[in-house]
Amino acid sequence: MELKQAFGKAMRQLRKSRNLNQEDFGGHSSQTYLSQLEAGGKGPTLEMVHGLATVMNVHPLTILTQCYLFMDKDATLDSIIQRVREELSVTPSDR
């Protein structure tokens, strides 16, 4: 599955699981744009991912993680989280 299609599928699944409709995103996105995102016709900016996540009350990484789970059928949630942990553990932190 292509990245845009996977993102759209993840977005639609998360939106519906929270009983939200496309109109609920009016402060962050038009219904037309959201429909294009969910259909895989558009790719969101980082700011848009943040705004969409805010409306759904999820972390932006939740959307992206679901997206990558759709893209890689062999991946599991645990394997993705473990990979991120390992990669962040060797990255200098400026916290």
| pLDDT for the residue numbered 93 | 66
> 65: which 2 tokens?
């993680």
CB atoms within 10 A of CB 67: 23
* Backbone dihedral angles phi then psi of residue 22, each to the nearest 5 degrees: -60, -30
Range 3-89 classified under CATH 1.10.260.40: yes
- List the chain domain ranges: 3-89
The angle, 0 to 180 degrees and rounded to 10, between the axes of the packed helices 77-89 and 60-71 is 120
Neighbours of 50 (CB within 10 A): 14
User: Encoding tokens for residue 68?
Assistant: 């990558």
pLDDT in tens, 9-63: 999 999 999 999 999 998 888 899 999 999 999 999 999 999 999 999 999 999 9
CA 24 to chain centre: 17
